[in-house]
Amino acid sequence: MRLKAVRGEDGFTLVEMLVTMMIMLVVLFALYSIFDMSLRVFSFGNNKVEAVEQARTGLERMEREIRMAYPVNKSSDQNQIFITSTTDTTVTPTLNTSSMVFGNDTDKPLTIPYVVDAPNEVIRYGLFKNSSAEPCDPGGVCKVYRSVGSGGYQRLVEFVRAPVPASTTPPAPAYAGGLRFTYLKENGVQTSVEAEVEIVRIELDVSVDEGSRDEGTQTLVTEVALRNRGE
């Protein structure tokens, strides 16, 4: 009887232990995969939300100010800073696709109403590496900056990629950049003639990538009619 009792207390065999360990490893790996996927989804969702908020905030600011852009000359006074002739109706000096310079009449003291006639009435938007307006590296992550007059550049939108030329070395797909301005006529046709510009299309890509998780990218597009062009 005593011999049978001892035999009934035999432990697991090596094969049984190995099988058990393999099953536990499979279960643990499955749990880790589910946990990792949950983190990725959560991180991607956060990045996507942040990208949307960044893009919306920046786009609304640019849309509001560009809509109210004034021609640089709406007066016959030839002594004002930005007036070059009595018929100058320029809204933006150059039709740049990645930056824009324009005037907003603030009607402050020592300025003439409806005329861009002081440095603090000139607004600039551009894509730079830092607040010193250092050019971005091709395809690098930069920021949209805003400046007024001769003041410094203030950050408006982060996580915006710089353009990539077609001739980049090493070769990379050409990219127009995360901030794009397109100048259109009243009928929506693109134009390269400043006097014909009635609408400005603004496109903004924001790509948020925190750590090693998935990148959240959001693109917002709006078209802004220049209300003061013909006034």
Residues 4-55: tens digit of each pLDDT = 555 555 667 877 788 888 888 888 888 877 777 766 666 666 666 766 777 7
Secondary structure letter of residue 194 according to DSSP: G
Look at residue 35 and tell me if it is in a domain.
no
Whether residue 37 lies inside any domain: the answer is no
- Choose among 104, 102, 150, 98: nearest CA to 124: 102
Residue 102 to residues 92, 185, 226, Cα–Cα distance (Å): 5, 17, 11
Q: Is residue 28 part of a domain?
A: no
Q: Specify the DSSP element, H or E, that contains 216.
A: strand 216-225
Residue 38: its H or E element: helix 14-67
Is 161 part of a structural domain of the chain?
yes
Residue 2 lies in a domain: no
Domain ranges, residue 187: 43-225
Q: Whole-model pTM?
A: 0.69
**Numbers of helices and strands, H then E, in the chain:** 2, 7
Report the 10 Å Cβ neighbour count for 166. 9
Tell me if 92 sits within 8 A of 69, measured CB to CB.
yes
Is 213 within a domain?
yes
44 contacts 214 by C-beta, under 8 angstroms: yes
Residue 59 maps to a domain: yes
**Domain count within the chain:** 1
Q: Does some domain include residue 55?
A: yes
Q: What pLDDT is recorded for position 86?
A: 44
pLDDT at 81: 32
| pLDDT for the residue 114 | 63
